[in-house]
Structure formats: C-alpha cells, structure tokens
Amino acid sequence: MSRENVEIARRNVEAFNGLDVDGFVECATPDFEWYPVGATALERASFLGREGVESHFEELRDAWEEIRLVAQEFRDLGDRTLFLGRLEGRGRVSGAPVEAPFGAVFDFRGSRCSRIRAFPDHDEALQAAGL
C-alpha cells in the first residue's frame, strides 16, 4: 500500500499545482485535514474536507499570480509519505518572486490521504515524520 501512497501524494502535489479541487479531494478522505504554511496558517489552524480545500485554493488564487510545489524527494514511510521540495511562486499584488524550502507529511487511512501537515523547511518536516 505504501508505494501507492507515494503516488497519491504525487497526485496531490500535481492537483495543488493546478489548484484543481476535484483532483485534490479525489485522493482524500471525506474528513481530510490540511495544515498549511504561511499567513493562512496563522489565521486558521486547518482546512477540513472538500470545503476547506476549495476555500484554501481560493485564498491561494487571490494571493498568488503563480504558485507551485517542486518535488525533490518523496519518502515512503508506510502509512505516511514525506515530501521534501520547494515552493515557487509570484505574489499577485507585489509581483515579487518567491522560492522557499517546503516539506510536508501526508498521512493515510486506507488508500486515501487523511491529513497533510506542511512545513516551511525540511528539518521541521523530517522531525514531524519522526526522522
């Protein structure tokens, strides 16, 4: 199952990069929880379910002209998958380019993602994954 989980995490990243709600929630449990990084994370603890994904993607569309995650590594951790990479984008208002480290831990229940915890650097993501 864990190899399949890595593929699901890859599909989630692809859906994120396209801000594709349907593609994102297709791989998620109905009670999916998403703990993002950035200003949004300061305002709210998490986004829940499809409605949360829709809300978060709308906030991203408002704030970013371009945004994408670039994978450097996916690690199979059984019922979890670790993503290490970087976030690249351009702010909508400022036009300023952004490139920053990014990590995430994807938790799985069965063959669906039940939670994503995002981190602003690789060390935090590794620690959250127990590595």
87 has pLDDT over 70: yes
What's the Cα-to-Cα distance from 21 to each of 26, 93, 123, rounded to whole Å? 8, 24, 29
φ, ψ at 9 (rounded to 5°): -60, -40
Tell me the C-alpha distance between 7 and 9, whole Å.
Answer: 5
Q: Tell me: the pLDDT tens digits for 47-82? A: 888 999 899 899 899 999 999 999 999 999 999 999
Domain count, the chain: 1
Identify the pLDDT of residue 38: 63
Q: Which domain holds residue 31?
A: 2-128
Identify the pLDDT of residue 110: 87
41 has pLDDT over 90: no
Estimate to the nearest angstrom the gap between the alpha carbon of 85 and the chain centroid.
11
What's the Cα-to-Cα distance from 41 to each of 26, 27, 37, 44, 64, rounded to whole Å? 23, 22, 5, 5, 16
Q: Tell me: the pLDDT tens digits for 13-32? A: 999 999 999 999 998 999 99
Q: What is the CATH number of the domain that holds 6?
A: 3.10.450.50
